[in-house]
Every structure is written in C-alpha cells, then in structure tokens.
C-alpha cells in the first residue's frame, strides 16, 4: 500500500523553483568544505512525532489522521506505520529514523507481551531496512509515559520501577543493536522533582548514574559500539530536571565516570528553555568533545514550553552549522524532533515540515561555510586573544608561572594595555551581510 501516493519524491530544483514539493537549497550531492551536503546533514525522522502525533493537546483531540488506514493500538497499525514511515523517508531522502520502544508497538499489559510485539515489528523493520537501505540513527526507551514512572525511572523512589526501567532499556538496546543504530539516547523525561520535601536528591542522582552504567555494560556486552547520549532539558515535565543543560549533564557524566561512553544530544528547543541559545549549548558540548547528535527543532521564545516546531530560523541553523563544522561534525545526525502545528493536519503538511526543516539546515550549512571561508570572524577572535600567543600570556597557558610572578609582572606594568573593543555590532553586520546580502 502506498500512503503518500499523491505526493512526489522530493528533489532539489534550486532556489528559483516555486514547486512546493522541491528543495530549494538541500542538494544532497553538492560539496561544501570537502563533504557532500548529505554527509554534513544526516537527517532523521522521529517516529513519535511524524508517525504518531496527531496534534492532540490539553484542550483538544487529534486533528491529523495518523491511522494509516488501520485501527490504532493494533499490530496492523504498527506495521502500517512502518510502511508509511519508510515510504515517507524515501520520498524525502531522509536516511535515518529515531524511535522509542513504545513508538513501534502499542504497549501491552506485561513486559513479556510488549517484548514479543517488539520482536515481531523489529523483524518487519529490519526487512524494510534491507530493502531500502534506510538506517537507524538512535533508539531510546520511553521511561516517562507509563504511570509507573510518575516519580521517575532511574530516579524513582521505587526499586521495582527502577527494574522496569532497566528491562525497557535492555530491550531498547537490543533493538538499537539489531537495527545497527549509531546511538542510544537517555532523555530523562521524569528524572527530576517537584519538591525537596519528598525527595532524596543524592540517591536519585546516584541511581540515574547506576542505571546508565548498567546500560553501558549491557550495551557493550551485546556489541553496541556507538555513543550513548544524554539529551539535556531544563523543565517540562518536571519542575526541576536533573539534566538541566549541557554543562550540568557533562558535570554529571564526569562525576560518575561516564564521560567515555556518553556524548550529548542537543535539542534546540531545550536549549532555549534553559535560557541559553542553541549555539551556546552546541559550543559547550563541542569544546568538551561531547557534541554527539542534534534534535533539530525550534521553540517559540514567547512560549515557555517545548513547542517542537520544524526549524525555520536560518540565523539559528547557520549558527548551529557553524558550531557543528567547528566541532568537526557529529557522530550522530539531525533528528527532526518536530511536529506540525495543530492546524497543519494533512499529509502534505508532513512533507512541508520536512522540506522546511531540511532546506533551513541546508541554507544554514551554506551560510556557515561562507562565514568560515570569509574568515573575518575567526580573524577577529584570533586578534582579540593575541595576548595569549606570546610573552606572559603564553607562559600562563603553558602553566609556567606562579601567582607571585603574575603579581610582580602586574606591579611592574603599572596598568594593562587597553583590552580593545569587542566589536559586536561590526561582527553582527558581517553575519547579516553573508546571510542576506549575497
């Protein structure tokens, strides 16, 4: 069965096309800074949004029909989703998918039954992967929707719940390995707290790390060679989330000896919820050698929650690609953890969402490469920090000085040289010129 029969395979037609089902900037074979666009931008489809989310919210039911011709919560629906998803990815030229365990099948009453369903669908998916050449970017376990996780998973007060989380992670890792996934994600959906009046914070944090260590040991024992990722998020659903932002997650990983196996999956909308720019979070991950993967979406700065919009702000995608290029690329990819707006409820809109997202990132890549080739920003930063290249600056960075020596140096100097203008407006204009002036 073809689910998007009336929709074409989306191709690159260049920036002058008015065809709504063509890429204007994403040209998979175009080479930029020595790599093709496709290599720079391994795009992925999020199973949950694209094949699952029908637009329901707190005030209303679904507006989009994601039944794909089958009754929901059945295995035939699960299979229809696979067929529709693979057709969708092929038509868009998206090579990867990401999944939670319970995105793939309806959860059953028992773990054993859910796992049997997962085995059945995994065989079905593996066959499709072989037929099409499509791949898995990462897998994860949903440890937040089922009521048993109301107090957390790794951070639950209940040891039994912790064991259920372990069981789900084990199975999700089995599936990720079966699909040849590049990564495995921990997004700590309910790993946080509402009030310290009922919370043992130290035990909760230690237990989350224990669960992660157990996952690493198991994953490595079954041949998982990819990266584990933490996906930081500051709030929603919990008031205090333990993985607040990149810096917090990195500190946590280092404190528990997990930094060799883990990197970060940075999500744009989570960054802005944490009061950071997307670029800030990418930089923090990048300079720590932990920029693994990206959940490519966009928030609404006027709203205080995770709106998971398709990325359209080219300034943001440019700065994102600037960071990614500077960090030497991703080990993961760009997962559109994004959904159509509730009134955008047709299959065409599903295509428009991905075309928008892919073209926004392609344009961001083109512009980021131009910023780097232009060189004025790099040059300015180099000059701004030139005092560290020689003399006392070089001695400090080589760790060849004592505080006493520095004090003597400062005293002799009388006054430091003018540190110079930061020239922010000049630099912002360069970015605008490259984004809009050429």
Residue 385's contacts (CB-CB under 8 Å, 6 or more residues apart) are none
The binder of 243, among Co ion, ligand XUL, none, by C-beta within 5 to 8 A per type, is none
Binding flag, residue 231, ligand XUL (CB under 6 A): yes
Residues 333 and 350: their CA atoms lie apart, in Å, by 20
Question: Is there a catalytic annotation at residue 100?
Answer: yes
Q: Are 335 and 98 in contact (CB under 8 A)?
A: yes
Catalytic one of 27, 101, 103, 295: 103
Q: How far is the CB of 306 from ligand XUL (least distance, A)?
A: 5
Residues 295 and 428: their CA atoms lie apart, in Å, by 26
Binding flag, residue 191, Co ion (CB under 5 A): no
Q: Which is nearer to ligand XUL, 78 or 185 (CB)?
A: 185
Binding flag, residue 140, ligand XUL (CB under 6 A): yes
Specify the residue for token string 């679904």. 62
Binding flag, residue 281, ligand XUL (CB under 6 A): no
Q: Give the footprint of ligand XUL on residues 162-221 (CB under 6 A).
A: 185, 187
Question: Is there a catalytic annotation at residue 276?
Answer: no
Q: Are 10 and 92 in contact (CB under 8 A)?
A: yes
The binder of 140, among ligand XUL, Co ion, none, by C-beta within 5 to 8 A per type, is ligand XUL
Q: What backbone phi and psi angles, to 5 degrees, belong to 393?
A: -60, -45
Dihedral-angle region of residue 14 (phi above 0 means left; psi in -120 to 50 means alpha; beta otherwise)? left
Q: Which is nearer to Co ion, 245 or 337 (CB)?
A: 337
Query: Burial letters for 372-394: b for 16+ Cβ neighbours within 10 Å, e otherwise?
Result: eeeeeeeeeeeeeeebeeeebee
Figure out which of the listed residues 337, 353, 363, 369 binds Co ion, where binding follows CB under 5 A: 337
Q: Which is nearer to ligand XUL, 156 or 431 (CB)?
A: 156
Binding flag, residue 233, ligand XUL (CB under 6 A): yes
- The candidate with the shortest Cα–Cα distance to 250, out of 286, 197, 201, is 286
Binding flag, residue 295, Co ion (CB under 5 A): yes
- Give catalytic residue positions: 100, 103
Residue ranges that bind ligand XUL, judged by CB under 6 A: 100, 140, 185, 187, 231, 233, 267, 295, 306, 337
């Amino acid at each position: 069965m073809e689910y998007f029969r009336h929709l074409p395979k989306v191709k690159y037609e260049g920036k002058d096309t008015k065809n709504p089902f063509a890429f204007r900037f994403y040209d998979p074979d175009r080479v930029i800074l020595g790599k093709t666009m496709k290599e720079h931008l391994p795009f992925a489809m999020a199973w949950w949004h694209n094949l699952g989310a029908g637009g329901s919210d707190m005030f209303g039911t679904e507006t989009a029909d994601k039944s794909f011709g089958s009754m929901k919560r059945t295995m035939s629906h699960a299979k229809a989703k696979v067929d529709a998803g693979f057709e969708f990815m092929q038509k868009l030229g998206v090579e990867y998918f990401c999944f939670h365990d319970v995105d793939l099948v309806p959860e059953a009453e028992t773990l054993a039954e859910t796992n049997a369903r997962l085995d059945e669908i995994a065989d079905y998916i593996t066959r499709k992967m072989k037929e099409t050449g499509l791949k898995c970017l990462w897998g994860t376990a949903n440890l937040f929707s089922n009521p048993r996780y109301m107090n957390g998973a790794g951070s639950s007060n209940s040891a039994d719940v912790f064991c259920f989380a372990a069981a789900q992670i084990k199975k999700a890792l089995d599936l990720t390995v079966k699909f040849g996934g590049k990564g495995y994600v921990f997004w700590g959906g309910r790993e946080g707290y509402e009030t310290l009046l009922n919370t043992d914070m130290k035990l909760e944090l230690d237990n989350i790390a224990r669960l992660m260590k157990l996952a690493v040991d198991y994953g490595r024992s079954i041949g998982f060679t990819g990266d584990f990722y933490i996906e930081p998020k500051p709030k929603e659903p919990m008031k205090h989330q333990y993985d607040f932002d990149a810096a917090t997650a990195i500190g946590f990983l280092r404190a528990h000896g997990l930094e060799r196996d883990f990197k970060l999956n940075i999500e744009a909308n989570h960054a802005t919820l944490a009061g950071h720019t997307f670029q800030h979070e990418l930089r923090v991950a990048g300079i720590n050698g932990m920029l693994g993967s990206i959940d490519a979406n966009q928030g609404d700065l006027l709203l205080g929650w995770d709106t998971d919009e398709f990325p359209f702000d080219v300034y943001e995608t440019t700065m994102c690609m600037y960071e990614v290029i500077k960090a030497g690329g991703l080990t993961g990819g760009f997962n559109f953890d994004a959904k159509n707006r509730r009134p955008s409820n047709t299959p065409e809109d599903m295509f428009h969402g991905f075309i928008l997202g892919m073209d926004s990132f392609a344009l961001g890549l083109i512009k980021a490469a131009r910023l780097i080739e232009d060189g004025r920003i790099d040059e300015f930063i180099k000059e701004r920090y030139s005092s560290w290249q020689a003399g006392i600056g070089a001695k400090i960075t080589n760790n060849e000085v004592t505080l006493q020596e520095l004090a003597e140096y400062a005293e002799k100097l009388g006054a430091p040289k003018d540190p110079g203008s930061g020239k922010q407006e000049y630099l912002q204009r360069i970015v605008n010129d490259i984004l809009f002036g050429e």
